[in-house]
Structure 1
């Protein structure tokens, strides 16, 4: 469940809840512009504005906001005022959650329906406002200051489309959902992977056919991050062949060893699907998927893969900038270990 949905539900029962939003940040800070959290009257937290002393100060000030109903702005230099080591400064606007419930409802609805909605957060702590983009308007997605408010586009959470719900797929999907990605889990019903509930998945689809998945999702787009992690190399290849031409996808990655990737490239060239490794359709593929952490277990592989997705989402970098580091010489294994591949014994899943 997203921040907006959780905050909407919590604020219905807690009239003393307060919303906190980072409305200014300069230098080195634990969180950046637009970071938000809700503080319940019982101290329950949803989200975070940075932890440590700055968050403690925010929580203390929330008691006064809840009591008086007046918004406040907490402004601190993290070294001079709070003796934190970050070195930057932050302003955090505080406002009663009850006054923001119309915005929270609109935001939760927009996320559920996957439609863009602009959130405007007043820098003085006033109630949140939302509006639909004007015809022809192309607003910046990331939080930024516009006059007296912070503006960002919400409603289109990055969506991970996971082909394969085996051991690795489940670990990746669960961690991705924890990190705020909307996860669609796809697996052939014959594997048994979908016989048990996947509570972290927004939707499960019993198919490996990208065309059927696209139809169920009403299309693919730039917010879609596709991961191919099935148990079968032939299935991987069929999915990859169908998705390589889809340049509108925000990310396309496949699990496997470098040997597997090289074989797939040769086959694609032989079929005339790509001209070679420099073909834009192939060059955008992140394979082997994940950052180079020496991961072996499904949980470790999940950390590697989701870290790559977070870097792409947060930093806005192309996949090539955050791929697994190429090594000029073979990796050195610790004594007594057996390094099967950069992703360990599960690389073929």
Structure 2
């Protein structure tokens, strides 16, 4: 599991902000699955959403958002084709969230609004399901 919270705190301590980029939807042939996360700082990147033109564009957008400090989140709709110079042919939705000390405190103070998901069985199927659920809005009990 990608421990982005600890890494975000380190980036915020260094740069004053970090932007969490999350693949919220992945349809067709795409580089990474929904739930994949990447952190972007002023000069650093941690994690990957698949590389190539998609990741380059996401990093640029994240840094613009981080430096400007005007918006806390936005969604980007990215069809992967000739226009993006990433011809996977699929479709990706990205969610960018700007994080700073105040936003991290807000996130901790927010009540857990995720829907509960109870998973029974600890075998290979359960493990695979849990891996796929990472980053999705569920409070998992396994």
Residue in 2 that maps onto 1:81: 83
- Please say if residues 37 and 47 of structure 2, whose CA atoms lie closer than 8 Å, have aligned partners that are also in contact: yes
Pick closer, same or farther for the CA change 1:79–1:13 going to 2, 3 Å: same
3-state DSSP of counterpart to 2:84: coil
Pick closer, same or farther for the CA change 1:58–1:133 going to 2, 3 Å: closer
The CA distance in 2 between the partners of 1:133 and 1:78, in whole Å, is 30
How does the TM-score come out when normalised to structure 1?
0.31
Residue in 2 that maps onto 1:64: 64
* Unmatched segments (≥5 aa) in structure 1: 107-128, 157-221, 223-349
- Determine which structure has more spread, i.e. the larger CA radius of gyration: 1
Q: How many aligned residue pairs are there?
A: 127
Residue in 2 that maps onto 1:200: none
* Unmatched segments (≥5 aa) in structure 2: 120-128
Q: Does residue 118 of structure 2 align to residue 138 of structure 1?
A: yes
| 1:225-254 CA distance string (max 9 Å, x none) | xxxxxxxxxxxxxxxxxxxxxxxxxxxxxx
The CA distance in 1 between the partners of 2:47 and 2:139, in whole Å, is 18
Residue in 2 that maps onto 1:92: 94
- Please say if residues 65 and 72 of structure 1, whose CA atoms lie closer than 8 Å, have aligned partners that are also in contact: no
Structure 1 segments, 4+ long, off by >3 Å, are 139-145
Pick closer, same or farther for the CA change 1:101–1:45 going to 2, 3 Å: same
How does the TM-score come out when normalised to structure 2?
0.70
Report 1:117-266 matches (<5 A).
131=112, 138=118, 141=130, 142-143=132-133, 150-153=136-139
**RCO (CA 8 Å, sep 6+): is it higher in 1 or 2?**
2
